[in-house]
Structure 1
Amino acid sequence: MSAVPLRNNKAALSDARTVTVLGATGSIGDSTMDLLRGARDRYQVEALTANSNVEALARLAKEFDVRFAAIADPARLGELKDALAGTNIECGAGESAIIEAAARPADWVMAAVSGAAGLKPALAAVDRGAAVALANKECLVCAGDFFMQRAAKAGACILPADSEHNALFQALSSGNREELVRVIITASGGPFRTWTPADIEQATLEQALKHPNWSMGQKITIDSASMMNKGLEVIEASYLFALSADEIDVLVHPQSIIHGMVEFSDRSVVAQLGAPDMRIPIAHCLGWPDRIVGPSARLDLAKIGQLTFEAPDFERFPGLRLAYEALRTGRGATTVFNAANEVAVAAFIAGKIKFGSIARLVEATINDWIRAGNLAPLSSADDAISVDHNARNRAASLLPQIALKAS
């Protein structure tokens, strides 16, 4: 059962909306706060959180007159208290404070805390039946079945905030589940779309960070260059919309104007289009089931001129192949896929491995994990976090071997 509403339910959310933003100082949080800034009459901000940026968190907390602010780094609590001195804003620090922020009574929660650390706060919002705009991949990649079951049980509404999943969410409302043939997630192809395998192998950090369309954080930009991000999105789509791997296709679309498509049994294909601006899908989640006025540029297709498409190359971008394999394997394999990729990307950023070794480390970690007989269903957040932690350790132990082979 999916907790994603495939047809709009006007009774699902209240008209007067209070919101909480988990990860308010990151790129998704920044876009969310920009939208809230333009619609102050419609929203009251209950709580904000940040990882370690006390100055930015305190500034936002005072600007939006929030009730509660939390910093993930417990060593920064004193700084946060000093920064909020003279206000009535409550504050806290550490994991428990981030979870408290999510558990506070807001109608709508943006879950944008990155990494496995975002799982428990998102579940705290889910368990009280909130509308959760999900921008944290790990909630689904690491614990998809468990997460969506909890959401369905609590009556929580999961709103996809990623551009591709939000596009599918919108397009899916054109038909019923039994009429669905497949969904199509589009990919820009990243900066290495036309590169040879040899050149991709030797790509530098600077080259990997030059995304042609999107302005994103360092980790996700590198994932886009390797197409690991598209693999993660395939896994997310499977859990979000209760789809099999065979019902999800990827199509390279360099212009990043069509973000997702859905094919129905009558062979109609419904697509969602928009400029490559994260404020568009976030605005859709923020206003749902209605729409709000957004600040993004209007789409001018005449100016763009043409939209082109290509099949993805699984040989040059093996990360996408590995994601499908992990999804079909199940039983924690997608958790291992994500954990190993995070270790690999960090190693690439640190100059310890070549770009082409990212996928090799992920594949080696998954294969090693399977050979050791570690696959098992995940039934709790602690299960997912444990697998994530152990898979990171396994990837780290394999790192020197992978680096040596590529040298």
Structure 2
Amino acid sequence: MTPTDVVLLGSTGSIGTQALEVVAAAAPGTFRVTALSAGGGNLELLAEQAVLHDVPVVALAHGGDGAVTRLRELLADERARTGRDDLAEPEILTGPDAATTVAGSLRVTPDALDVREPPAAPRAVVLNGITGSVGLAPTLAALRSGATLALANKESLVVGGSLVRAAQTRPGQVVPVDSEHSAIAQALRSGRHERGMTSPVTTGRSEVRRLVLTASGGPFRGRTRDELATVTPAQALAHPTWAMGPVVTVNSSTMVNKGLELIEAHLLFDVPAEDVVVVVHPQSVVHSMVEFHDGSTLAQASPPDMRLPIALGLTWPERAAGVAAPCRWDEPTSWTFEPLDEGTFPAVALARAAAAASATHPAVLNAANEQCVAAFLDRRLDYLGIVEVVAEVLEEHEGPAASADLTLDDVLGAEERARARAEELIAARA
């Protein structure tokens, strides 16, 4: 069996570490990790990962020569500690473009793939687990290389949806890793929906009526808007279900994350934004649902474990064995669903409006939100101010009338202006 080559972006983050758990648990020879990229904030873990998986290339976004020297020392220490002194030292790339370079390193020729159907065992996968819009350039590089893109970086799709569409080299090249979108992709295999980035063919036929995104409700489910006025960073970071990075965790508490997922679903599956709905499901077992025109609804259920959608991203459309524990159907249990309180959590409606407004409005939403979350974590902005400032920046933005001629510079320019305006509004509130 020829192993699947894997490039892992964001290897020291939550998605990255769990992806390497999946790789390590697989049968020998299933995967070969050819490159890791990380921001540089946890060099000790990066060195452990590189030695454990004998990775030939490591990319560092930050740190410069000092970080490279330190990483080389840690790699040598790790080889000595594990008795693997025979391993070659990996090539180390540095700088803001390092992740983009390794993302495009798996060159896949069209004749290596059956373009009518995603391969059962993809020979090259780039898993983008970077957080934030900095993941856009690596996403585009991965797609242009011809590799399968296992996408956990929702921001790159939200920010540059039309660019991501244009960069694809074949239908079905993007495999979603967010648990909600993985659930939808799985459910869609039971019906006819041959539109969107995840589809292997495009005919325009569809049996889909609506997509239903489930949300845990976060740490503040059931609270009123007035009760959220004094929320602290520590409270916002205490998610009841998932262990995630700080930005994603705060976004989950404000429901901005669910708004970004709505835009992502709209773009991935080519379903109008108004036909993507959000319901609150505190148990986080039903990860999302697809409602069909005949009235039936298909749901994907599994305990909240990100290793399952990560593994599917690496092996799609096949399933690896024993990735996560299944639901227990022989024990009493109950699942509840309730409508989202959009008065208290207006971020989802804001995202739906942004998706309908222009090709750059979602980029502006994401950029402004990233600035606001950083300010909140630094205690420069109150909790309710996060979405309020984002809404004000969006209201002022004038996007292009059409997206056909949109360039990366257009998107980056809109982001830069949004960040600057958000900072002005943050300063004014302070």
Same fold (TM over 0.5): yes
Alignment of 1:272-287 (within 5 A): 272-287=300-315
Partner in structure 2 of residue 18 of structure 1: 5
Select which of 45, 48, 52 maps to 1:59. Answer: 48
> 2:134, 2:156 within 8 Å by CA — same for their partners in 1?
no
Select which of 388, 391, 395 maps to 2:415. Answer: 388
CA deviation digits over 1:89-146, x for unaligned, max 9? 2111113322221122270110112222211112111001111100111211100122
Partner in structure 2 of residue 123 of structure 1: 140
C-alpha distance in 2 between matches for 1:62 and 1:239: 38
SS of the aligned residue for 2:424 comes to helix
Question: 1:217 and 2:204 equivalent?
Answer: no
Distance 1:132 1:227, change over 3 A: same
TM-score, normalization by structure 2: 0.86
C-alpha distance in 2 between matches for 1:21 and 1:323: 29
Partner in structure 2 of residue 132 of structure 1: 149
Amino acid paired to 2:68: L
1:156 to partner: Cα distance: 6.5
C-alpha distance in 1 between matches for 2:376 and 2:347: 15
Partner in structure 2 of residue 98 of structure 1: 99
Partner in structure 1 of residue 34 of structure 2: 46
Amino acid paired to 1:93: T
Amino acid paired to 1:71: L
Amino acid paired to 1:125: A
Partner in structure 2 of residue 203 of structure 1: 231
Partner in structure 2 of residue 7 of structure 1: none
C-alpha distance in 1 between matches for 2:237 and 2:187: 31
> 2:61, 2:95 within 8 Å by CA — same for their partners in 1?
yes
Amino acid paired to 2:272: S
Amino acid paired to 2:147: A
Distance 1:154 1:265, change over 3 A: closer
Select which of 17, 21, 26 maps to 1:34. Answer: 21
C-alpha distance in 1 between matches for 2:153 and 2:379: 26
Distance 1:107 1:383, change over 3 A: same
Partner in structure 1 of residue 386 of structure 2: 358
Alignment of 1:105-184 (within 5 A): 105=106, 107-151=124-168, 153-154=169-170, 157-177=173-193, 178-184=206-212
Partner in structure 1 of residue 114 of structure 2: none
SS of the aligned residue for 2:131 comes to coil
Moved over 3 A (4+): 81-86, 153-156, 301-304, 373-378
SS of the aligned residue for 2:126 comes to strand
Amino acid paired to 1:43: F
C-alpha distance in 2 between matches for 1:154 and 1:392: 34
C-alpha distance in 1 between matches for 2:327 and 2:105: 37
Distance 1:65 1:194, change over 3 A: same
C-alpha distance in 1 between matches for 2:397 and 2:422: 10
Distance 1:375 1:114, change over 3 A: farther
Distance 1:59 1:198, change over 3 A: same
C-alpha distance in 1 between matches for 2:400 and 2:294: 43
1:17 to partner: Cα distance: 0.8
Partner in structure 2 of residue 9 of structure 1: none
Identity value in percent: 39
Unpaired segments of 5 or more residues in structure 1? 1-13
Partner in structure 1 of residue 69 of structure 2: 78
Coordinate RMSD, CA, aligned: 1.9
1:176 to partner: Cα distance: 1.2
C-alpha distance in 2 between matches for 1:215 and 1:232: 18
> 2:358, 2:400 within 8 Å by CA — same for their partners in 1?
no
Unpaired segments of 5 or more residues in structure 2? 77-84, 107-122, 194-205
Distance 1:375 1:208, change over 3 A: farther
CA deviation digits over 1:364-393, x for unaligned, max 9? 1111223xx777736233322222122111
Select which of 321, 332, 341 maps to 1:313. Answer: 341
Alignment of 1:294-309 (within 5 A): 294-301=322-329, 303=331, 305-309=333-337
Amino acid paired to 1:356: L
CA deviation digits over 1:295-325, x for unaligned, max 9? 4232124546111111111100011111111
CA deviation digits over 1:162-219, x for unaligned, max 9? 0000000101111112211111000011111111211112212222112111111111
C-alpha distance in 2 between matches for 1:65 and 1:344: 39
Alignment of 1:307-346 (within 5 A): 307-346=335-374
SS of the aligned residue for 2:339 comes to coil
> 2:56, 2:90 within 8 Å by CA — same for their partners in 1?
yes
Amino acid paired to 2:102: A
Distance 1:302 1:211, change over 3 A: farther
Amino acid paired to 2:9: L
CA deviation digits over 1:339-375, x for unaligned, max 9? 11111111111111221111100001111223xx777
